[in-house]
A and B are shown apart, each in its own frame.
Chain A
């Protein structure tokens, strides 16, 4: 079977789910006639028409709220944020309304909010963000952030079928750089399970999204130059976290580096560190270390962005430090 890109994998999932379930529909800015800013929804309107692929006004509150209302009535809306940075406009609707709906009102809210996320693309402050932490922090929401084409498709299908709201982060750096061969049949990746991206013995890198690929590159280099065997755990699901997989890798290698592209303070790495501390303290041979973005807005110029974001040499440096501890 031919390989397809991460972006095409998401599109394939949308086509398959719209075909499978007439309640699935898409709404967002420029997603219909134009096919979306990145062309993720290209071809959907031609096949399913304007009533199931809705070009909306520029209204993140409006479209997330409308998706919630439709979800209450039995629909399964998929909302596109043109860039995930703009989800901040809908923060109230997602955290106050959607996240609490089932708990406070027994209202089902099966919906997906998806959008291009992340940096390494010279997108500047408003086209590069990783705003997952605020949503991971909100009970009632699920958050996934795939790093491979296979997971992009399988998790999208799982997200659409989930009975609660799933925020689906798509890494735009990976959109056309990463390819994969889709498993045959109805390929659904369960939410809440991490993926062992590389097996190793000496230390573990726990990460997700674009930095999975940075970590794999670093692992190759460390093996080549230092003879270190590095395990890489790709979380895939950020809420809920796969605690069992995290514990297993900690107990196996006893040294943990957490890498994410999001900023440092309040980022997911802090939460994972705390969980490891609570559950696996006696298994650790070194403190849990973090490689993250610096706590600054993401700048535009290549030299600036490259300094702010975690790079392969940063992971190599931190891993060597950890191995020598």
Chain B
């Protein structure tokens, strides 16, 4: 516990440009079997390796849009989602690839999404990891931040109305806590005593804006007091502590005790997206977190200290590599969406829009579907090791 407290953020200097070290962290009453502990490693490794594969595909221009990394945040994503059961529903954020994988999203779906394939989960309609499946228990986010809090309040209101023992979990970043939707959603859920866990992933930055310019609250759990709800705070780079804190919140919700705000302290080591060169980050900060507080390295140390042999870990690494290779092959074989599918499914009725008169009878009027170079933002090489 103390170890993580001193490691987070390097602990030097008074500026609050990035997440401050957690004052108190909790390992939680974590009771996981060896198999489960190895599973946590698998999900974190899969998350990181899949994103590394996506970087390669991005550089080969096979990713159509931007690429969003969760490097350094794998523990908070995986550990929190792991606290849910089958039947529970979560709503991820852009850095919750790990949460979605835990909930059953597959690498090939992720790759097809990024590559805008016709048989991707959204048939090429949405970007990156913006997709969901209510059967498996995750609901796709939209880009306006905070909006998923009211939506998940409604999802969990339904669980309550129907007397189902199900729980919802919604992720927001430090930035989204400033939105009106966050406030209205969490307050509505609190008053209705919805079985909802609101996870604030405090990773130090909202795009380029440091947390100190987002709020004057000393810590995000302080906001829970104002809403009259429970709070948990944990080191988000410690997968077991994250799991423990989230599990307590999930159990509380399932017992009918309402909403918990869980603050997970972590750090965003990459830019908002791949194009972002992180010029706003103080020198040395990223490197310090990479060196001293990498969630996967920390967890590996921990597993080894508990006597997990290297062979078991290497077997997981090999499994991850082969799964991603196989998924990449599959995704690359998929075709692009049929252009006319763009007009299908805005409404249940009518099922499709008609092509406009100047497009009647034509399938395609563009010879080459150009892929823009980027977002038009400054595109210097990213800092730090890759």
Contact = CB atoms under 8 A, between A and B. Distances in A.
Contacts of B184: 57, 59-62, 65
Interface stretch (A102-110, A216-224, A258-266, A302-310): A102-110
A54 interface: yes
B191 interface: yes
Contacts of A57: 184, 187-188, 191
B16 to A, nearest CB: 29
A55 to B, nearest CB: 9
A139 B150 CA distance: 22
B349 A62 contact: no
Interface in A72-94: 72-75, 77, 92-93
Interface stretch (B151-159, B303-311, B323-331): B151-159
Given A69-B157, A102-B345, A56 B151 contact: no
Interface in B222-249: none
B347 interface: yes
B185 A61 contact: yes
B144 A63 contact: no
Interface residues of A, number: 43
A72 B134 contact: yes
B142 A96 contact: yes
B83 interface: no
B290 interface: no
Contacts of A70: 154-155, 157-158, 161
Given A66-B151, A70-B155, A164-B347, A104 B192 contact: no
Interface stretch (B36-44, B123-131, B197-205, B268-276): B123-131
A104 B346 CA distance: 9
B17 interface: no
B126 A65 contact: no
Given A69-B152, A69-B154, A102 B347 contact: yes
B152 to A, nearest CB: 6
B337 to A, nearest CB: 13
Contact of B158 (A56, A63, A73): A73
B348 interface: yes
A92 B147 contact: yes
A60, A75, A140 — which one has the most chain B CB atoms within 10 A of its CB? Answer: A75
Interface string A175-199: 0000000000000000000000000
Nearest to B357: A278
A77 B151 CA distance: 13
A72, A74, A96, A139 — which one has the most chain B CB atoms within 10 A of its CB? Answer: A72
B180 interface: yes
B210 to A, nearest CB: 25
Contacts of A163: 347-349
B187 A62 contact: yes
Interface in B106-152: 122, 125-126, 130-132, 134, 139-140, 142-144, 147, 149-152
A87 B114 CA distance: 34
Contacts of A67: 154
Interface in B268-297: none
A268 interface: no
Given A61-B181, A105-B140, A69 B349 contact: no
Contacts of A54: 192
B153 to A, nearest CB: 5
Nearest to B125: A104
A64 interface: yes
A72 B135 CA distance: 11
Given A62-B184, A163-B348, A105 B151 contact: no
A169 interface: no
Nearest to B344: A103
A25 interface: yes
B347 A65 contact: no
7 contacts: A61-B180, A72-B134, A75-B161, A104-B140, A106-B122, A139-B346, A164-B347
